[in-house]
Amino acid sequence: MDWKIPRFKSGKPLRWEFLVPPGSARETETLLSRIVSDPFLPRNHTPEFKVFPEKFVLEKTNFRQALEVLVRIPWIRDFRLNLGKFPLDENFDFSGLIESLKQNEILPEGWGINFHPQVRGRKEISREELYSFWEESYSSSGDPDSKNTELNALALGDSIILSLSLAGAPIFQRGNFKPLSKSAPVREDTATFLLHLLKKNMPEPDAVFVPFAGSGTFIWESASSLFKLGFPHLDRNYMFQEMKEFPAPSWEFLKRKIGPEEEGKKFTFWYNDSEPEVFSYLNERKEEYQKFIKQFPLSPENRFIGKEGDFFSISPKEIWESAGKPQKIWMPLNPPYGLRIQKGSDLGLYRRIAETLKVWWELPGEVSGFILCPDEETWSAFLKAISSKLQTVHITHGGLDLRVVYF
């Protein structure tokens, strides 16, 4: 097939797709409007955008403008270039597509493709059949040592829409940390979004307390949010940085623009878990994270304090005093599945957390946070026990609809 894909030029207005966590569309649209009306980089034209439940589309937007949006919305999980809409008829095949992408300087040398087929509103073809078309042209995955990015192919009616991820590995993956095998953590992009909403409720905390820390996602994402460190500052590279038209000076400017302030405010991060294996993992991650942030001009007085044991048996006053009596505290709560089912019901745990929070609220400091509720029953039990009308945000995690209550 003759793939007529134009040569990539960084200044040419194109169509881009950005994937975001389910439940974040409204806040994404608000922030996107602010970015478009108040850009960091000079521009000759104004981008147009459309926001959908799990993604948004930028049109009439050049590479530099797309990168600015990518940097300024911290919960983006993938960044794609729309390659166009093509007829899906009896003569269709994928032969020559990869070669065209390389010839037109979209897919850098040394990069391969993972094919991801999707079908919507079309009964004549299945995902499996679409994948077989791909295998007919590219039967092998190529060099196993090559880096790979994802090609999304959406069969829609009589056409197929192709978009190529320019990230390579997903953006939400935060570097070289080894995952905790027994955990099912909230993804980093979702955690960042939830913390963004918390920051609107309490913009300038002095400390972050993370009970039931698990794999620690809320610890490191909280720290990065308060330190003003985004995914561009991580020790990893992205495919778009290897593209011939990559605007390196603009990228470095954006990193500095969103980056940490010189010797900024100091924070205390306190975390807790009752399982020895998990707590040991958290301490290892703490050491790695502290090595990572040493390269930035942050306050040397930032502290990370871990406490092994049952959160309910630890005195809130003792925790507060050991952390230096902070006046404003973030407290993200994600009760672990294992603890929730120990007695056959989540409800008792969520009522107990609500009662514990009331003790925290008696301290001289102000506590603001959220709790993830896996179903309507736990959500209702928590609200009844807390005896207060609170904001609830709905998100999706692991295919489950979660209620996130902010307090």
CATH number of 188-236+261-406: 3.40.50.150
Closest CA to 165 of 150, 153, 180, 143: 150
Residues 253-293 pLDDT 10s: 999 999 997 777 999 999 999 999 999 999 999 999 999 99
CB atoms within 10 A of CB 141: 12
Question: Can you read off the two tokens belonging to residue 104?
Answer: 């037109």
- SS3 track for 15-67: EEEEECCCCCHHHHHHHHHHHHHCCCCCCCCCCEEEECCCEEEEEEECHHHHH
Band the pLDDT of 346: cuts 50, 70, 90.
confident
3-state secondary structure of 195: helix
Rounded CA gap, 80 and 240, in Å?
10
Class of domain 14-165: alpha beta
pLDDT at 21 over 50: yes
- The pLDDT, as a whole number, for residue 144 is 61
- With b for 16 or more beta-carbon neighbours within 10 A and e for fewer, the 182-213 pattern comes to ebebbbbbbbbbbbbebbeebeebbbbbbbbb
Averaged over 70-81, what is the pLDDT?
97
Query: What does the pLDDT look like over 126-138, one tens digit per residue?
Result: 999 999 999 999 9
Q: What average pLDDT does range 166-179 have in this prediction?
A: 80
Indicate the average pLDDT of the chain. 92
Please report, for the chain, the start and end positions of each structural domain, with discontinuous segments joined by +.
14-165, 188-236+261-406
| pLDDT at residue 179 tops 90 | no
Encode 59-89: b = buried (16+ Cβ within 10 Å), e = exposed. Answer: eebbbbbbbbbbbbbbbbbbbbbbbbebebe
SS3 assignment, position 333: strand
pLDDT at residue number 344: 46
CA separation, residue 158 to residues 67, 99, 153 (Å) = 32, 24, 13
